[in-house]
């Protein structure tokens, strides 16, 4: 009986540990896919930072836009549900909603409605439980595009995650494991037309 009790305790701990770490890897993969898809949506959508359109220099038409010429515009929501962008970026809630929710309804909350037929999903569909305040969209000048370009500057766009913790369901109670902070899982792409009507 004693041997069975010891063996069962070890076996149960190993089994529940596999479940916890398996769920952690699932969240890791889901977070990676969410930022990749969010970056793609951001590259073909209206910019969250409204000031980006006219942010590039215009003194020398046709000249390259050098790295650091504008921004960076870092856009996110705070804990109170207020969206903002650094460097006076003029935060656009509908543009952020498109990245977060895809083509689904633009609502001013963390809801993640199921997309209808023909609608593209957003980040929240790939990573259940994701909140708007966890998503950071950054636009920066990295030497792409030229001054007075008709479509505006060509930014480098980074979508990342912040303030997400993985909680151990079983090991936390059994062995006292503390929460683990999920890395930013960032994805960086080059901006394209930056219009919601883009393909």
pTM of the model: 0.85
- Residue 187 has which token pair? 């994805």
Residue-level pLDDT at 126? 93
Instruction: State the residue range of the domain holding 89.
Output: 2-190
Evaluate whether residue 42 is within a structural domain: yes
Evaluate whether residue 198 is within a structural domain: no
Evaluate whether residue 166 is within a structural domain: yes
What is the C-alpha separation between 97 and 41, in angstroms, rounded?
11
Enumerate residues 6+ apart whose C-beta is below 8 A from 91.
48, 49, 50, 75, 83, 84, 85
Q: How many residues does the chain have?
A: 199
Evaluate whether residue 196 is within a structural domain: no
Do the Cβ atoms of 45 and 53 come closer than 8 Å?
A: no
Evaluate whether residue 100 is within a structural domain: yes
Evaluate whether residue 173 is within a structural domain: yes
Q: How confident is the model at residue 101 (pLDDT cuts 50, 70, 90)?
A: very high
Evaluate whether residue 199 is within a structural domain: no
Evaluate whether residue 99 is within a structural domain: yes
Q: How confident is the model at residue 22 (pLDDT cuts 50, 70, 90)?
A: confident
Helical pair 93-101 and 2-43, crossing angle rounded to 10 deg: 130
Domain count, the chain: 1
Asked which of 101-110, 138-147, 188-197 is least confident by mean pLDDT, the reply is: 188-197
Percent of the chain surpassing pLDDT 70: 93
What is the C-alpha separation between 110 and 103, in angstroms, rounded?
15
Phi, psi dihedrals of residue 168, rounded to the nearest 5°:
-75, 120
More confident residue, 71 or 126: 126
């Amino acid at each position: 009986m004693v041997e069975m009790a010891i063996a069962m305790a070890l076996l149960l701990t190993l089994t529940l540990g596999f479940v916890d770490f398996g769920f952690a890897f699932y969240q890791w993969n889901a977070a990676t896919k969410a930022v990749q898809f969010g970056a793609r949506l951001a590259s073909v959508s209206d910019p969250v930072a409204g000031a980006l359109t006219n942010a590039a220099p215009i003194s020398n038409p046709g000249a390259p836009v050098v790295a650091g010429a504008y921004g960076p515009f870092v856009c996110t929501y705070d804990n109170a549900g207020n969206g903002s962008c650094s460097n006076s970026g003029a935060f656009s809630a509908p543009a952020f909603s498109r990245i977060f929710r895809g083509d689904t309804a633009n609502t001013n909350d963390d809801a993640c409605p199921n997309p209808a037929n023909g609608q593209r999903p957003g980040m929240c569909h790939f990573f259940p439980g994701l909140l708007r305040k966890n998503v950071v969209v950054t636009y920066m000048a990295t030497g792409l595009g030229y001054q007075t370009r008709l479509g505006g500057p060509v930014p480098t766009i980074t979508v990342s995650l912040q303030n997400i913790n993985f909680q151990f369901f079983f090991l936390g109670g059994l062995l006292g494991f503390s929460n683990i902070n999920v890395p930013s899982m960032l994805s960086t792409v080059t901006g394209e037309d930056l219009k919601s009507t883009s393909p």
